[in-house]
Amino acid sequence: MSKKDAAAKEVPIAKTTEELMLNFGKGKYTAIPMAALWAKELKRREENRHLTPAEILDLALREVLSGKVDWKDLKKIVSSGGAAEPEKKAE
């Protein structure tokens, strides 16, 4: 295997939001309320102040669909007033 082939295999291919939505195991209709709650939380955070509403929504949707945030995390965060962080899943 040449160096070019090895370098090409190391670069992960980013999935589109549509792909993530279609492959979401818990049902796409449960993802929408989760993403809406997560977007509200992301909007409150200082590090996201420079993002537009569309960018925040896309970020929230991607994090929910990729499994970085789930209902358990959202309940903790909402009940704590945003002080908690979602648990990091092993990738």
43 inside domain: yes
38 inside domain: yes
Tokens of 91: 């990738």
Each residue of 3-54: pLDDT tens digit?
Answer: 555 554 555 567 777 777 777 777 777 888 888 999 999 999 999 999 999 9
Predicted pLDDT at 3:
56
Each residue of 53-88: pLDDT tens digit?
Answer: 999 999 998 888 888 888 888 888 888 876 566 665
Q: Could you give the number of structural domains in the chain? A: 1
Q: Contact at 8 Å (CB) between 59 and 86?
A: no
Predicted pLDDT at 9:
55
63 inside domain: yes
Report how far Cα 41 is from the mean position of its chain's Cα atoms: 12
Predicted pLDDT at 20:
75
Q: What are the DSSP calls for 30-60, one per residue? A: HHHHHHHHHHHHHHHSGGGTTS-HHHHHHHH
88 inside domain: no
Give the predicted TM-score (pTM) of the model.
Answer: 0.68
52 inside domain: yes
9 inside domain: no
What is the extent of the structural domain holding 47? 30-83
